[in-house]
């Protein structure tokens, strides 16, 4: 009986951790830029402050065209790019 309970307990706590880590959409972001960054960029770039030295045009081009191994984000509009940049600049 013990091993089964252990497996169930482990699975349950895994679910608890997963649900705590995911941010509910919409209401916990300080800005639109923060939300866009969280949804599109943070899975690869955990630390947005690393981009603070890059120029606006470089950032916009990287977002819309991608670079090397980074995919392009053609669906992110110019306004949204601006929101993301504002978020990166104000960290």
What residues numbered 44-73 form the site for ligand HEC, per CB under 6 A? 44-45, 51, 54, 59, 62-63, 67-71, 73
In the chain, DSSP finds a helix count (H) and a strand count (E) of: 4, 0
Whether the Cβ atoms of residue 58 and residue 84 lie closer than 8 Å to each other: no
Q: Cβ closer to ligand HEC: 13 or 56?
A: 56
Q: Cβ closer to ligand HEC: 11 or 70?
A: 70
Q: Cβ closer to ligand HEC: 30 or 44?
A: 44
| CA–CA separation, 31 and 64 (whole Å) | 21
The alpha-carbon radius of gyration of the chain (Å, integer) is 18
Residues shown for the chain: 91
Tokens standing for 24?
């509910």
Which of 33, 34, 83, 84 is the binder for ligand HEC (CB under 6 A)?
84
Does 87 contact ligand HEC by CB under 6 A? Answer: no
**Site residues for ligand HEC per CB under 6 A:** 40-41, 43-45, 51, 54, 59, 62-63, 67-71, 73, 76, 84
């Amino acid at each position: 009986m013990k091993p089964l309970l252990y497996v169930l307990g482990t699975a349950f706590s895994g679910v608890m951790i997963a649900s705590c880590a995911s941010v509910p959409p919409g209401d916990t972001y300080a800005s639109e830029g923060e939300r866009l960054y969280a949804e599109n960029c943070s899975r690869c770039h955990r630390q947005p402050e690393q981009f603070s030295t890059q120029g606006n045009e470089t950032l916009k081009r990287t977002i819309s065209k991608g670079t090397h191994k980074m995919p392009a984000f053609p669906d992110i509009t110019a306004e949204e790019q601006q929101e993301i940049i504002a978020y990166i600049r104000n960290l």
